[in-house]
Amino acid sequence: MTKKERYELVLAYFQEQVPIAETELLYENPFQLLVAVILSAQCTDKRVNLTTPAIFKQFPTPQKMSKASFEQMFALIKSISYPNNKAKHLIGMSQLLVDNFNAEVPLTVEQLITLPGVGRKTANVITSVVDKQPNMAVDTHVFRVSRRLGLVPMTATTPLAVEKALIKHIPTALVHTAHHWLILHGRYTCLARSPKCDACGLVSFCKEGAKKSAS
């Protein structure tokens, strides 16, 4: 099977089985999404969604969040992983939005990564979700699933290498959706320790599935 054929099969499967694929983070505007994505680092979307309503109620805009004290923010996110750093990041991010971007969330990766708590992965999420830009955020699920399915070579050992390999082969118009396909597949089917191969329609040409069949 050629690389082109493999991508065509995987994308066709997801298009048929998961025609609508979106982030599971709850948000109403780009600012709320940015806050949620920053909080989601090494934390479940479920936990973030339980936490953000109180944050958005108290600090609904960058202007208001920029004036929050560390103690106020920490109290709201203490159930989230790394609350010390994330409290500082949220306040600092909001201050820079106000100072440098007229309190609007910028929609270029280059601008977004100038904000505290925003790395390339977060910037790719924001631009792809809000603006449907063809940017591929590589988290642990995308990294794992794309390697198991043979979409990227095993020599692609960094998120950036996986991102570049995926972008090279996925049609531009599908990149922003493919990001969610891979995440959701990794979150609910292609689990890290105990993948549900019996329930996976892609197992016939999955490297992990081939190992199980041979054992």
Task: Give tens-digit pLDDT for 102-150.
Answer: 999 999 999 999 999 999 999 999 999 999 999 999 999 999 999 999 9
Catalytic residue among 4, 45, 88, 121: 121
Per-residue pLDDT tens digits for 66-109:
999 999 999 999 999 999 999 999 999 999 999 999 999 999 99
Query: Is 99 an active-site residue?
Result: no
DSSP 158-198: SHHHHHHHHHHHS-GGGHHHHHHHHHHHHHHTS-SSS--GG
The reply to whether 45 belongs to the active site is: no
DSSP state of 203: G
- Catalytic one among 139, 196, 198, 211? 139
Tokens at residue 100, please? 């440098």
